[in-house]
Amino acid sequence: MSANTIVSVDCIPMRLPFFHWSPPPLFAGRPRDKLDSALVRVQTQDGAVAWGESYCVEPRALQAVFETLIAPLACGKDAADQTLLPLMQRTLHNLGRSGPVVHALAGLDIALWDLRAKREGVPLYALLGGKRRDRVRAYASLLQYYGDAQRLHEVVTRALDEGYTEIKLHERTADALGAARGAAGPQVPIMVDTNCAWLPAEAPAAIAAMMPHAPFWIEEPLWPPEDDQALMQLGRQCEVPLAVGENASSAYALTRLIEQDAVQYVQPSVIKLGFTAAWGLAQQCQGTSVRCTPQVAFFGPGYLASLHLIAAQQDEVSLERLYVELAHVPYGDTVPIKDGWVAVPDAPGLGADPEQALAQGQYRQ
């Protein structure tokens, strides 16, 4: 057994309380005041530890996937083996090409990149050819306020006062965008994520109603999100860029959108698709009219992995930062946001490991 042999793969679900200056939003019909994801901890024979992150809707299901599928397949294997993840993906493919199994593999993938960079004593971006920028602009990604104009005005103003210069809404109406625009003024970019609000026949009119308020992009406009033909048709009809990718069932689905020039922005989630897939999509976007702008509604190692990806890719884009008041701010001391910007960390690997309070303390489920 070599020093680089994987001896353990652990899933650590975390639940981070938040407040967004309003009654909790609803998720599956219930108030939501905590953000869930899961840390992935990988350790090798010589004691080296690396971290990843997986999308986590149901902690019990994800932990079971790690315990019964991921850990048995990974333990005993060489962490540096570039075929490890592809072989695991093929072995488990009949359990689904999206969902908890794929999300678990994504978390392991991030951890293996962290480990590889730590072994070489370099920051993750160095494995991607080096960083093209020392800092990345962050935009304030608001949760849903259900069109409440007063709250939208207050929270947009609050974010701008803290130094953010770009805003994203999770709203579905022109009036909501109008309220945000009234607070932000004419120059601030405002993206609108509708969370798959409209059927294809409904979207053109809804987007047209928003146009007087100058949306920067419309994100996830259609249901079902995988209807790429309807998405292409919508893109030809409307005058605002479209952004999609958070709900992609696979990297292949986003590859097709790039090849077809169907949207202006693709948004892979590293904690759903994995870092390898997201970086591949970023490289595919080079020389095209499509930009890779990762979806980053999370705060753990996946957040840092996305930061490294944006720092290293050709196109300069902003980093999504979910705009809420957290009970604990991951990487608040090691990788802080200052005046709407995030400095790219230069320490080996992802640049920072999860704080003890987050990994083992009161926020661990």
Per the CB < 8 A criterion, the answer to whether 107 and 54 are in contact is: yes
pLDDT computed for residue 146 by the predictor: 94
Radius of gyration of the chain (CA): 20
- DSSP structure string for 86-103: HHHHHHTGGG-SSSHHHH
- Give dist(CA 105, CA 85) in Å, integer: 7
Secondary structure string (H, E, C) spanning 238-273: CCCCEEECCCCCCHHHHHHHHHCCCCCEECCCHHHH
- Give dist(CA 120, CA 112) in Å, integer: 12
Q: What phi-psi label fits residue 24: left (phi over 0), alpha (psi between -120 and 50 degrees) or beta?
A: beta
- What kind of fold does domain 126-350 have according to CATH? TIM Barrel (3.20.20)
Among residues 11, 14, 32, 10, which one has the least CA distance to residue 23? 32
- DSSP structure string for 200-225: TTTHHHHHHHHGGG--S-EES-BSST
Q: How far is CA 132 from CA 195, 291, 312, in A?
A: 31, 15, 5
Strand, helix or coil for residue 150: helix
- Give dist(CA 150, CA 130) in Å, integer: 44
Among residues 14, 28, 29, which one has the least CA distance to residue 327? 14
Q: Give the type of residue at 162.
A: E
Break the chain into its structural domains and give their ranges: 5-122, 126-350
- Give dist(CA 249, CA 105) in Å, integer: 14
pLDDT computed for residue 250 by the predictor: 85
pLDDT computed for residue 360 by the predictor: 57
Blockwise average pLDDT, block size 10, the chain, 365 residues: 94 93 84 91 97 93 96 98 96 90 97 98 98 98 96 98 98 98 98 97 98 98 93 94 91 92 96 97 96 96 98 98 94 94 98 76 73
- Considering the domain 5-122 in this protein, what is its CATH number? 3.30.390.10
pLDDT computed for residue 361 by the predictor: 67
Among residues 150, 156, 154, which one has the least CA distance to residue 168? 156
Among residues 94, 100, 27, 93, which one has the least CA distance to residue 58? 100
pLDDT computed for residue 359 by the predictor: 61
User: How many other CB atoms are found less than 10 A from the CB of residue 172?
Assistant: 20
pLDDT computed for residue 30 by the predictor: 83
**pTM confidence score:** 0.96
